[in-house]
Amino acid sequence: MSRVRAILVSLVLTIVIQPNLLGDVTPASAGSSATVERHHYTIGARVRPLLLFWLTRNGVGDAVVTRRRAPGEESYSLLIGSDPNRTPMRINRWGYIEEEIRGAEARLLGLMTESDEDSIQQAEANVRKQPSGSHPFKVIHGTADGELAQARVQSINMPRDYTLHQMRVVLDVAERASSGGRLRVVRLPAGARPGFLAALADAMRLPDGRPITYVYYGRLYELRRIRSRSMANARVAERSYGGAVAAEFLITSAHDGEQTKFSMTYGTEGAFAEVPLSVVYQPRWWMQVELTIDDAADPPFETGRTP
């Protein structure tokens, strides 16, 4: 899986999302004035078995975005993935990423099911041949201090094919797996953000074309909103959310120039200001993923540490 896809694909990358992330956040300290927001999304998928047409299936997974803000601190987390009980062939693909920022110090933790499929046929073959007792997850640990960013990635094998319903089990193992793997170190330019989610939060506030540099797994990327249009009243899944912006974003890798696009509609008013309402991302030529906000339904799984 390419580096940019790994960033978004937790969504499947999806993703993808903005200043809120799925998952959980670090508890607020006593007496703090932290605000915590959490939003649930349903996932729809479109696959193209041939180049001529798309097949659509809704409700194949879930995502949860959480944002925590306090004076001098901010945290974002994203949990997203498919639900094997609702996908053909019980495909299990999910990921989790959290970013914690305190002043100039930042910490990143990410984990995702390992997969590298270039076609529907490869995805089906990988599901069939998955050996018993060998279910690999990729784990990323990263830190940044405003001048340097360090990240280490490694694989861990779990005894079961855990789904996003059992995220806490895999997360506990991932948090302890902080020594092995390959280490990458990169010097950060002035103003660089320590993660994709934090960068996306900033990109929603900047004018079109203004680049934001961020770091992910020892590589620098540039994120920019390339075009946008204002909406007086965004309607998503038959619900009105008031003022919003429909925008397209572009990620460019400073390492090899690879580019990735995704689109997102986010609110601009009241409780939904800077909250993604829908996200569309195409991680493969044969697959497109769409997230749609659905706060009326609680996610059917634990979303991590309780704020």
> Mean pLDDT for each 10-residue chunk of the chain (307 residues)?
36 32 35 81 81 74 92 93 79 90 94 63 53 78 94 89 88 80 92 95 95 94 97 93 97 94 96 95 81 80 48
HSE at residue 173, side-chain half, CA atoms within 13 A, is: 18
Contact 167, 301 (CB under 8 A): yes
Q: What whole-number distance in Å separates Cα of residue 151 and Cα of residue 142?
A: 4
Query: What 8-state DSSP symbol labels residue 198?
Result: H
**Counts of helices then strands in the chain (DSSP H, E):** 4, 16
Contact 89, 82 (CB under 8 A): no
pLDDT score recorded for residue 55: 72
Cβ burial, residue 94 (10 Å; 0-12/13-18/19+): buried
Contact 225, 203 (CB under 8 A): yes
Q: What whole-number distance in Å separates Cα of residue 49 and Cα of residue 59?
A: 19
Which two structure tokens, joined as six digits, stand for 222? 């540039």
Q: In degrees, to the nearest 5, what angle opens at C-alpha 190 toward C-alphas 187 and 195?
A: 70
Q: How far is CA 297 from the centre of its chain?
A: 20
Closest by CA position to 267, among listed 2, 65, 60:
65
pLDDT score recorded for residue 301: 54
152-160 — which CB contacts under 8 Å span 24+ positions?
152/178, 152/180, 152/181, 152/182, 152/183, 152/184, 153/181, 153/182, 153/184, 153/217, 154/180, 154/181, 154/182, 155/114, 155/181, 157/133, 159/133, 159/135, 160/135
Which two structure tokens, joined as six digits, stand for 60? 């194949």
pLDDT score recorded for residue 50: 66
pLDDT score recorded for residue 36: 92
Q: How far is CA 234 from the centre of its chain?
A: 23
pTM of the model: 0.80
Query: What 8-state DSSP symbol labels residue 125?
Result: H
